[in-house]
A and B are shown apart, each in its own frame.
Chain A
Amino acid sequence: MRGLVLVSHSEEIVKGLYSLLKEITTKTPITLGGGLEDGSIGTTFDRVLKAVEENPAEEVYIFYDLGSARMNIEMVMEASSKTIHLIHAALVEGCFVAATLLEAGVSNEKIMKQLEPLIIK
């Protein structure tokens, strides 16, 4: 099984994205790492790790918004035993494309190819 992990400095952003993706997914597990514990803005290693570990999939695609999220995700990639694809795509468009293709059972190779034009960071 392959899943999606959404990481943002804002909890509202990933919650909104979650609702959006729920419109087009039924079987792709989605977990969220948004904001800090107290609801304020930011990202931490712990919150990202939790989102990755809580995702029932052993292989996940991670999408994120800004720089420090990336550093925390990269530390999680070193700490977690899961297969993680970190995608440097525009957050909204990227996760929407990935969710559509994961749901349709498309291969990783083809998903990456289709995400290519959306890579912005």
Chain B
Amino acid sequence: MLNLTSTQRWMEHFFEEILTHKEHLSDLDNPIGDGDHGINMARGVEATKEALATKDITSINELFKTIAMTLLSKVGGAAGPLYGSVFLAFAKASLDLESLSKEQVITLFEEGQTALMSRGKAGVGEKTMVDVWVPFTAQFKKGAVRLEDVDGFVEATKPLKATKGRAAYLGERSIGHVDPGSYSSGLLFKTFLTLELF
């Protein structure tokens, strides 16, 4: 079961991982984007931590909603509306639920994925975070996902040619670099798996 306490632990761990990998996320963004994914995500995460610290969060829905609204107002790059939409979808999927079963967590990830794809108008194979979301959700639905599987999904964005976002302007030159958004989404999934709930 994913309850409020474990969701809070997951999110805190995810925020710490973003802050730890801030430089790396920006480094990944340097050759194919504008080099600010780490800085943007870190700014969003710091603001979210502050917002959560001043609020008495009483439900999973409220937690996700607060995260969504803060990321939307603070991130500043494409990750703002993308993660904002994901966490809004998470909030909607956890509405009125005290805890989530594996089935409900699958729905949570599926709703997040749908929101992400419709917001970014991206499909599979376009070198975006969708390329981590889709295989993760599919495998989680079938059974267990290991941490190294997630690393594999992230690494698999390397040979892809970007057709979305700023990397798309680079065309062929985007090949050979890991997509930074995929890396940060990988952190979201790995911190979830670390909870060892299912």
To the question of whether A and B form a pair in one complex, the answer is: yes
A: which residues have CB within 8 A of B? 36, 40-46, 66-68, 71-72, 74-75
Expressed in whole angstroms, the Cα–Cα distance for A43 and B77 within the complex equals: 6
Residue of B nearest to A75 (CB): B81
- Do B85 and A75 touch (CB < 8 A)? yes
Q: How many residues of B contact A (CB 8 A)?
A: 19
B80 at the interface (CB under 8 A from A): yes
Expressed in whole angstroms, the Cα–Cα distance for A43 and B36 within the complex equals: 13
Query: For B36, B80, B81, B85, which residue has the most chain A Cβ atoms within 10 angstroms?
Result: B81
Would you give the 0/1 interface string for B58-101, flagging 1 where the beta carbon is closer than 8 Å to chain A?
A: 00000000000000111111101110110000000000000000
- Do A40 and B76 touch (CB < 8 A)? yes
Would A44 and B72 be within 8 Å (CB), given that A68-B77, A75-B81, A75-B84 are in contact?
Answer: yes
- Do A71 and B119 touch (CB < 8 A)? yes
How far, in Å, is A92 (CB) from chain B's closest CB? 19
Contact among A43, A66, A67 with B76 in the assembled complex (CB-CB below 8 Å): A43
- A to B contact number (C-beta, < 8 Å): 50
Would A72 and B80 be within 8 Å (CB), given that A44-B72, A45-B72, A45-B73 are in contact?
Answer: yes
User: For chain B, what secondary structure do more than half of its interface residues adopt (helix, strand, loop), or is it mixed?
Assistant: helix
How far, in Å, is A11 (CB) from chain B's closest CB? 12
- Do A44 and B78 touch (CB < 8 A)? no
- Do A71 and B81 touch (CB < 8 A)? yes
- Do B76 and A45 touch (CB < 8 A)? no
Expressed in whole angstroms, the Cα–Cα distance for A42 and B79 within the complex equals: 11
How far, in Å, is A48 (CB) from chain B's closest CB? 10
Question: What are 18 sample pairs from A and B whose C-beta atoms fall under 8 A apart?
Answer: A41-B76, A42-B76, A43-B76, A44-B72, A44-B75, A44-B80, A45-B72, A45-B81, A66-B166, A67-B164, A68-B77, A71-B80, A71-B81, A71-B82, A71-B119, A74-B81, A74-B119, A75-B72
